[in-house]
Amino acid sequence: MVDAPRSTAAVPMPQVTRWDVVLPDELAAGRLAMDLAAMLQPGDLVALTGDLGAGKSTLARAIIRELAQDPDLDVPSPTFTLLQSYELPRHSVVHADLYRLGDSSELEELGWYDLTDSAVTLVEWPERAGEVLQQPNRLEVGVTIPPEAPETRRHVRLTGHGRLAGALLRMRTIRALIDSAGFGPAHRRHLQGDASSRTYERLVGTQRNAVLMNAPRRPDGPPVRDGRPYSAIAHLAEDVKPFVALARGLKARGLSAPLIYAADLASGLLIMEDLGDEGVLAGAPPAPAPVMERYEVAIDVLAALHRLDLPDRLAVSPEIDYQLPRYDIAALLIEVELLIDWYLPHREAPALSPEGRAAFRQLWADALAPSLMQKPVWVLRDYHSPNLMWLPGREGLARIGLLDFQDAVMGPAAYDVASLTQDARVDVPEEMELALLGRYIRASRQANPAFDMRAFAASYAVMGAQRATKILGTFARLNHRDGKPGYLRHIPRVWTYLQRCLAFTDLAPLKAWFEAHVPSPDRPLATPLAAPAPAPLDAPNDPREA
């Protein structure tokens, strides 16, 4: 089911939101704890109030166990210690019971401010310290036992303030969608996401599992060129409609994109088929390796898709169509400029003059022009190991499950081929890359004897170089702007791929430019990596990694 969209115009978030909930039994209380845990972030405070025996401690323990993803976690009462802290995989958590607090001055002695500043904080008896209830991002949870009610029934009044006012509204919307899709009893399990603001959860049901995608529409960033933000120029998805459209289009062509079970398009929420955990790599981190058989099927998927006449307009629902944008020169150029704005400062290279930037853009425009004249195909844009699942129970091309294609565009076929064979997160040996390229070319020539192998090779080199250039800038940006230094470890690998591509004879002018202006990642830095970020070309609030 795909709901008709409501208005996607920006709506001011409320300052206070209230929701009254009746919990008939312990299962309902557990679901509420699960929903609350899913929405909490560091810096949030949950203030639990109610009479002795109302169930405050029970609810607090359930929330902590959900945050820990461990139903058996020992959660001792903080009645005597007053504070109990937990270092959990996703968040630090502080559980406090202030019943025995003498006065607010004791909070500092307890280390309250240091412990709670970047943690999720759950407080019982918060009224014993008035400033606790002045926390801007707080959720007040009042638990009462209705008169003459069954022993297990509870009434809970939830009041969200600050960020949690909007989060509480979204929590209600998510719960309504989960229930309407038939996954009401399912357990919600956080899944590791990507570098964007999207989050994912596995809904573990008794009959089947599903995946919840939570992708709220993000406001545009500041204009960076011709009055347009980066996200518009680079054709990044603004909502979930492109994902739904591409999922249906890929599915209709026999490929394993996830089925959409339910959607709230306006809210950016999807419940979709769970394609499992088995990917196309083998071995444990930090050195997983590509599995040749699986990569062969993945390259066959591209060859089969690229020989089709693919439309640029797809149905989202009976009432809504989605137009795939062209991967035009403006998008390709603004992506490679991430190298200038983020990677060069990261490597302490001299800043380019406006004339130097213009020359850089012109070199790329000349190199990219032949690829942009080719017949466009669906470029899924993130066709690499994190987004490819292995489905051994299916046949043929359907053994590759496809994820994360909401930024798809109409563009050169070689882009996704390079994305697969020059995977930014895992080493693809050069001999394996060449074998996969040969497999793609043979399949393409068999389907079309007029297939131009020389033109494809040239396009592969330039699209691979463009992608590697963009990724170098993106990973430097994720480190400096977003505080995600883990992506820096991939830069030497991406640099190696870039050198392979620039070795193509048609790219000699670009190769000379890189040799003159871009330091290799193995050159020592004069100052630490934590140097202040530059004042660069801005990027979307929902930053994509490659």
Q: Is residue 167 located within the same domain as residue 257?
A: no
- Pairing label, strands 138-144, 199-204: unpaired
pLDDT per residue, tens digit, the chain (546 aa), is 333 333 334 445 678 999 999 999 999 999 999 999 999 999 999 999 999 989 999 999 999 999 999 999 999 999 999 999 999 988 999 999 999 998 888 998 899 999 999 999 999 999 999 888 889 999 999 999 998 878 889 999 999 999 999 999 999 999 999 999 999 999 999 997 655 678 999 999 988 999 999 999 877 788 999 899 999 999 999 999 999 999 999 999 999 999 999 999 999 999 999 999 999 999 887 789 999 999 999 999 999 999 999 999 999 999 999 999 999 999 999 999 999 999 999 999 999 999 999 999 999 999 999 999 999 999 999 999 999 999 999 999 999 999 999 999 999 999 999 999 999 999 999 999 999 999 999 999 999 999 999 999 999 999 999 999 999 999 999 999 989 999 999 999 999 999 999 999 999 999 999 999 999 998 776 554 443 344 344 333 333 434
In a domain, 189, yes or no: no
Q: Is residue 220 located within the same domain as residue 350?
A: yes
Q: Is residue 62 located within the same domain as residue 116?
A: yes
Q: In sequence order, which residues have a C-beta less than 8 Å from that of residue 177 and are 6 or more positions away?
A: 262, 263, 264, 267, 269, 271
Closest C-alpha among 436, 440, 433 to residue 456: 440
Q: Is residue 161 located within the same domain as residue 247?
A: no
Q: Is residue 104 located within the same domain as residue 172?
A: yes
Q: Is residue 137 located within the same domain as residue 234?
A: no
In a domain, 493, yes or no: yes
**Does the pTM exceed 0.85?**
yes
Q: Is residue 88 located within the same domain as residue 230?
A: no
Structural domain total, the chain: 2
In a domain, 164, yes or no: yes
CATH number of the domain within which 79 lies: 3.40.50.300
In a domain, 192, yes or no: no
Q: Is residue 149 located within the same domain as residue 33?
A: yes
In a domain, 523, yes or no: no
8 Å CB contact between 404 and 382: yes
Q: Is residue 175 located within the same domain as residue 217?
A: no
Q: Is residue 165 located within the same domain as residue 279?
A: no
8 Å CB contact between 443 and 436: no
> Which residue range is the domain that position 98 belongs to?
16-180
Closest C-alpha among 233, 221, 240 to residue 540: 221
In a domain, 203, yes or no: no
8 Å CB contact between 39 and 168: yes
Q: In sequence order, which residues have a C-beta less than 8 Å from that of residue 373 and are 6 or more positions away?
A: none
CATH number of the domain within which 298 lies: 3.90.1200.10
Q: Is residue 409 located within the same domain as residue 318?
A: yes
Q: Is residue 273 located within the same domain as residue 410?
A: yes
In a domain, 9, yes or no: no
How far is 55 from 379, CA to CA, in rounded Å? 53
Helices 430-447, 414-421: crossing angle, 10 deg rounding: 150
DSSP, res 488: G
In a domain, 37, yes or no: yes
